[in-house]
A = this chain, B = another copy of it.
């Protein structure tokens, strides 16, 4: 387990490629609600909306021939908890996070949701500190590696979306996802998820290292089972 590697004192943001004029904004972006002082949740609300817009704007301009569906799916592959947490790790945000005692002991600085939220808050803080263009420049830089490899033609629908569309086209109720079990230490949990489709009298289970991945895997299995059932009928 151990402690985070570095605990910078009053970081000025240079480690992010951006120097804050207003230190308190950066400090707030790095402060989880479990810690004392003003925390980052309002900044996270703002940053989430900013990232949504900036990535949409980027994709709209870069892919003039992609249709709305491809743009929406491509954005979803760029902006989700896993990808934002990965960017946060690349910036070593975990080392600068301010967490309460409990979260610190349980390894909160390694948790995807906390890291992704902190990254969103950081984007909101840069926007408030430096304005839209400074923020866009940073977001472009932070997403650069991912921008380099995306292609809307590859952005196939994820299994949950495919399953939902399959069921809707047959006028069935949407599947119900349920967490059956969460096991392992906090920084290395395994999720066991059930995907149930009452209309087809069908329920499958799948494991994954995040809730999202386990749900996608369960949806993939459920779709295969539903299609096999349909063939049988």
Contact = CB atoms under 8 A, between A and B. Distances in A.
Interface of A: 41-42, 44-46, 48-50, 52-53, 55-57, 60, 66-68, 71-72, 132, 171-179, 194, 196, 198
Contacts of A173: 176-178, 194, 196
Given A172-B178, A179-B171, A42 B68 contact: yes
Contacts of A179: 171
A55 to B, nearest CB: 8
Contacts of A46: 56-57, 60
Contacts of A178: 171-174
B67 A56 contact: no
Closest 6 pairs (CB-CB, A-B):
A49-B56, A173-B176, A53-B53, A41-B68, A173-B178, A49-B53
A231 B120 CA distance: 41
B42 A60 contact: yes
A67 B53 CA distance: 22
Nearest to A59: B45
A129 to B, nearest CB: 14
A38 to B, nearest CB: 11
30 contacts: A41-B67, A41-B68, A42-B60, A42-B66, A42-B67, A42-B68, A42-B71, A45-B60, A45-B71, A45-B72, A46-B56, A46-B57, A46-B60, A48-B56, A49-B56, A49-B57, A50-B53, A52-B52, A52-B53, A53-B53, A132-B132, A171-B178, A171-B179, A172-B178, A173-B176, A173-B177, A173-B194, A173-B196, A175-B176, A198-B198
A175 B26 CA distance: 40
A198 B201 CA distance: 11
A174 B68 CA distance: 29
A178 B67 CA distance: 28
Given A53-B50, A53-B53, A174 B171 contact: no
A165 to B, nearest CB: 15
